[in-house]
Structure 1
Amino acid sequence: MGSAVVQMACVALGVVGLIGIVVCCAVPLWRVSAFTGSNIVTAERSQEGLWTTCVVQSTGQQQCKNFESLLDLGADRQAARALTIISGMLCCLSLLVLFCGSDFTTCVENEDVKPKISLVAGVGMLLAGILVIIPVSWFAHNTVRDFYTPLLSSSPRMEMGACIFVGWAAGVLLIIAGGLLCCFSRPKQGNTGGKAKYYSNSASAPNKNYV
């Protein structure tokens, strides 16, 4: 019963982490305009994501443009696209595996196989969390580096957007879920063989005493 509760909690954490990955992949808020300095222009602000770059007017109108050339993108954005998609697919697969091998479902009836399936799901969630943290941290590092570069002081500065923090939170939740599954999904060691031998020897001992 205890492992079933842990597995249900890990499913909840995995679903929340998957939603965070989808938000990071779809929403163009990886990098936003930073209003600093003496001349603060708030008429419009820029937003950048993995697939599009947008300009939001003060009236609320928003114009977005897709990145047309893949080869023209920076290495951080290309890696972020690939790793984020892989992380989302791995998280979905891990959740499906966890549903099949969990104690609160009857998809698998063999009780000896269920811990192994849950362990595989836990490793998958751990990898998914690491894969989403890597591009988010890389993107954040480049954003902070460009922000404090003196050569870029005349151009509009960009700072970290909300997707950076959402990605960190999603990665941490997936790592926690994967760690819990790895700890509570160890295969049970059967000791029936040792007990049978012990009882057989003890049963034969009284017969020898009576002879």
Structure 2
Amino acid sequence: MATTGLQVLGVLLAVAGWVGGALVTAAPFWRVSAFVGGELVVAEAQWEGLWMSCLVRSSTGHTQCKTFDSGLALAPSTQARRTLAVVALLLGVLGLGLSVLGLKCTHCLGSAHDSKARLARLGGLVFVAAALMFLVPVCWTAHMVVRDFYDPAVAAPLKRELGPALYLGWFVALLMLVGGALINAGSAPPPGGGGGGEEATAGGFFGGGKGNPQPTPPAGKKEKAYV
């Protein structure tokens, strides 16, 4: 049955995951410098993201960030990861709209409980799809970092380590995934199936409704009293 508490909790978790996903997408901490051997200058650290790269000088604490000049000049893998992250965030916006319209505690669609439950379940599925899509660029980047780190053909100054944005990306994707699942669980149909659950319940508790009239004794006959 539609449970308002589960629906609201799912929406809150999914929205928190979406907000975190937006921050992760814009953050430059996807890949950080790996200090391997003595070939790197430890006075400088480099951060790289999907949209910009930053250079941090430990001696002065100065950080200089620069966005990538041209998106078309980037590597195809970076363009694909950008696209997947942005599409995942757009799916999150769509899932939020569907979920809010389908919440049991909202009155956007009146009292059409079945339609609202279907909308809420669709919003939950969209959030699950957004979470899975957001995992793709995060896991893709982690795979590239680990592969290049252990590749002897890659020079030490070009090696990178997993940045904090990747760990946060896994966490926010999990939030969206759990949020979408809770929205679906809170919008599940009643075990007996079919609509009109509230009317049937009311009829059962109060001795039948319009579709179940009580029999009346024929005129002129008295009911027998039983002791």
Coarse TM-score class (shorter-chain normalised): 0.7 to 0.9
Matched, 1:78 2:79: yes
In 1, are the aligned partners of 2:54 and 2:65 still within 8 Å (CA)?
yes
Distance 2:51 2:40 in 1: 27
> In the alignment, which residue of structure 2 is the partner of 1:129?
131
> Going by fraction, where is helix more abundant, 1 or 2?
1
Distance 1:66 1:47 in 2: 12
Q: How does 1:48-197 map to 2 (within 5 A)?
A: 48-58=48-58, 59-109=60-110, 110-188=112-190, 189-190=194-195
Distance 1:159 1:120 in 2: 38
In 2, are the aligned partners of 1:76 and 1:139 still within 8 Å (CA)?
no
Q: Which amino acid aligns with 2:176?
A: L
**Gap runs ≥5 in structure 2:** 201-207, 219-227
1:35 is paired with a residue whose SS is coil
Distance 2:40 2:155 in 1: 13
Q: Report the Cα offset of residue 199 of structure 1.
A: 5.6
Distance 2:40 2:64 in 1: 21
Q: How does 1:4-19 map to 2 (within 5 A)?
A: 4-19=4-19
Distance 1:99 1:154 in 2: 50
Q: Which amino acid aligns with 1:88?
A: L
Deviates more, 1:62-71 or 1:87-96: 62-71
Distance 1:132 1:26 in 2: 13
In 2, are the aligned partners of 1:76 and 1:135 still within 8 Å (CA)?
no
Q: Which amino acid aligns with 1:87?
A: A
In 2, are the aligned partners of 1:54 and 1:64 still within 8 Å (CA)?
yes
- The two structures have a TM-score, normalised by structure 1, of 0.85
2:54 is paired with a residue whose SS is strand
For residues 147-183 of structure 1, what are the alpha-carbon distances to aligned partners after superposition, in whole Å with 9 as ceiling and x for unaligned? 1110114434211111111111111111111122223
Deviates more, 1:74-83 or 1:165-174: 74-83
2:157 is paired with a residue whose SS is coil
For residues 89-110 of structure 1, what are the alpha-carbon distances to aligned partners after superposition, in whole Å with 9 as ceiling and x for unaligned? 1112211221121012222221
Q: Report the Cα offset of residue 141 of structure 1.
A: 0.2
Identity across aligned pairs (percent)?
35
The count of aligned residue pairs is 203
